[in-house]
A and B are shown apart, each in its own frame.
Chain A
Amino acid sequence: MSSTIEIRSAPHVKGSRTVEQIMRQVVYSLVPVCAFFVWQYGISALALITVVTGVCIWTERVFTGTGTQSGHIQDYSSVITGLLLALTLPPGFPLWMAAVAAFISIALGKALFGGIGFNVFNPALVGRAFAQAAFPTAIATYTPSFLSGRGSEFIPSSLALPLMQPADTAAWLHGMQIDGWTGATPLAQWKFEQTLVGAGELLTSLGGHLPIGPSPVLIVLCGLYLASRRFMDWRIPMAVFGSAAITAWALFLLDPARFPTPFFTLLSGGLALGAVYMATDMATSPVTPKGMWFYGALIGFLTVIIRNFSGLPEGVMYAILLGNAVTPLIERVTQPTPFGKGASKKARRAASYSLNPSYISRDGDVQERDKS
């Protein structure tokens, strides 16, 4: 490794972690979440995850094959895009629409900009936004979790023929005789029917036949693993959760009848998945610590605003996409002051600098540099 001489401009000191290592860890941390999703919705969810991830990898392969992309097919980033996109779609989403969304997410969300690291928006959310605009009915059609025959029976809408409308799930569900089933997600129930699902049920995703994604607790635990190993910056999810909670709490205090409790806001919809896995996408979030706080806070605030004051029940996707859009600006205004250019004109004295600064090296860095 270190036998080659690198001729290029700074920075010369860099971590030993490769993109592939980081991405693989993120994939590992997503495995429990996907397993939970499959456990909730059975074979349809499994097929959805497989198709979306497969199409993402295939699209990535096609575009990396043209030689115009920065990454390569083995770097696992397209797998993450696929898994995240699948987790944001309803389990009974027609597989052909899911394939279209997956293609769009990689082609439009990533390949068009030049590959990994150059994309402005989170690719998975680009795909989902396209699907939401193209197929608004299908993406809002949820089916209950933990149905009895989910291990062997597909949700009928999953298997729609390409370009054709999905089968109506309402009639299929009617035959199942599920008590209290309204077909709306907890967020839509709150928005359109003013009924509030309990925080306990939302916390674990286990109560009854709720049409919701994997448990927020599980997602946060997986995120904690990533954050503890520094594969993800903890500031962004913290800022998203914090700002969403504060905004929701302020609204709740203003009018408890109109706005849901902060707990409901934090636990419902895709806020946990968005905050932990999507807002933290390295290419599309700020790199400066101050910028991360601001970026996360903006996403949390916008999510609550969109949820409560727009026609849509859920706002995490658009909030994160807007956050991505202002990321370059945030980075620009939150640049740290370079050494010696502070507000005080006094020269600093008696500063000492470590040869192996803790903020750069992790794990195997130190040994490797000693060897060289």
Chain B
Amino acid sequence: MSTIAAAPRTWDEFMEGIWKQNPVFVMVLGMCPTLAVTVSGVNALSMGVATSFVLVCSCALVSLMRSFTPKEVRIAVYIVIIATFVTVVDYAIQAISLALYDALGAFIQLIVVNCIILGRAEAHASKNAPVPAMINAAGMGVGFTIGLLALGVVREIFGAGTLFGVSLFSANFQPWVIMVLPPGGFFVLGSWLLLFSWWARRKEAQQNA
């Protein structure tokens, strides 16, 4: 009985971060990496994976420590936990690919102050058992990665004519310079937000009708 009832709830918890509470398109959190590192699909994907890793690990630890974390110093505790995992990611990326490390720059270290992670720790992990907290965090991480990819892919296609480094058009392709510049990030993010809100509104209208 309990397993049957628990399965859809877990799935809902996971899907929440991808669709209903998508950190990029619904909550509009973590805009700094969203706009800054999504110049190409590879950058976006690695940033998403790095953030997801930090998110899942720190939520698990915060959840484990939730019963004896003093309320007064909880934010400091969360930050120390998050910073620990960010340091792990920082060194890991540096070891795997120096080119990627240079491309992402300071934004790897800045995962510490990403409000998605702190928000999850405060709003969910500190009140739930480790497994649901990790599932929720994983959903958020996947949702964030999808959001970054959505921006990165569009910006890479228009800005360089490639997709994950693979050339899509002939050599004669005209790159849209604006797409790799900061304004391009805002334009593409705005367009996606527009599309998703239109989609959500239409769905709502259909349900009401």
Contacts and interface: CB of A to CB of B under 8 A. Distances in A.
Interface of A: 94, 97, 108, 130, 133-136, 138, 160, 163-166
Contact of A164 (B170, B177, B183, B187): B170
A163 B159 CA distance: 11
A160 B183 contact: no
Contact of B174 (A108, A130, A133, A164): A164
Contacts, number: 31
A166 B174 contact: yes
A164 B172 contact: yes
28 contacts: A94-B174, A97-B174, A130-B178, A133-B178, A133-B181, A133-B183, A134-B177, A134-B178, A134-B179, A135-B174, A135-B176, A135-B177, A136-B177, A138-B174, A160-B174, A163-B161, A163-B169, A163-B173, A163-B174, A164-B169, A164-B170, A164-B172, A164-B173, A164-B174, A165-B172, A165-B173, A165-B174, A166-B174
Nearest to A160: B174
Interface residues of B, number: 13
Contacts of B178: 130, 133-134
A197 to B, nearest CB: 29
Interface of B: 161, 169-170, 172-174, 176-179, 181, 183, 187
Contacts of A136: 177
Which 7 residue pairs are nearest across A and B when measured between Cβ atoms?
Answer: A133-B178, A134-B178, A134-B176, A165-B174, A164-B172, A165-B172, A134-B177
Nearest to A166: B174
Contacts of B183: 133
Nearest to B159: A134
Contacts of B187: 108
Contacts of A130: 178
Contacts of B181: 133
A364 to B, nearest CB: 43
Nearest to B194: A112
Contacts of B161: 163
Given A136-B177, A164-B170, 11 more contacts: A108-B187, A133-B177, A133-B183, A160-B174, A163-B161, A163-B169, A164-B172, A164-B173, A165-B172, A165-B173, A166-B174
A134 B181 CA distance: 9
B185 to A, nearest CB: 12
Contacts of A166: 174
A297 B176 CA distance: 34
A136 B181 CA distance: 13
Contacts of B179: 134
A113 to B, nearest CB: 13
A135 B176 CA distance: 6
B195 to A, nearest CB: 13
A165 B179 CA distance: 16
Contacts of A108: 187
Most buried by B among A134, A165, A166: A134
Contacts of A133: 177-178, 181, 183
A239 to B, nearest CB: 30
Nearest to B169: A163
A138 B183 CA distance: 19
Nearest to A130: B178
Contacts of B169: 163-164
Most buried by A among B172, B174, B179, B187: B174
Contacts of A160: 174
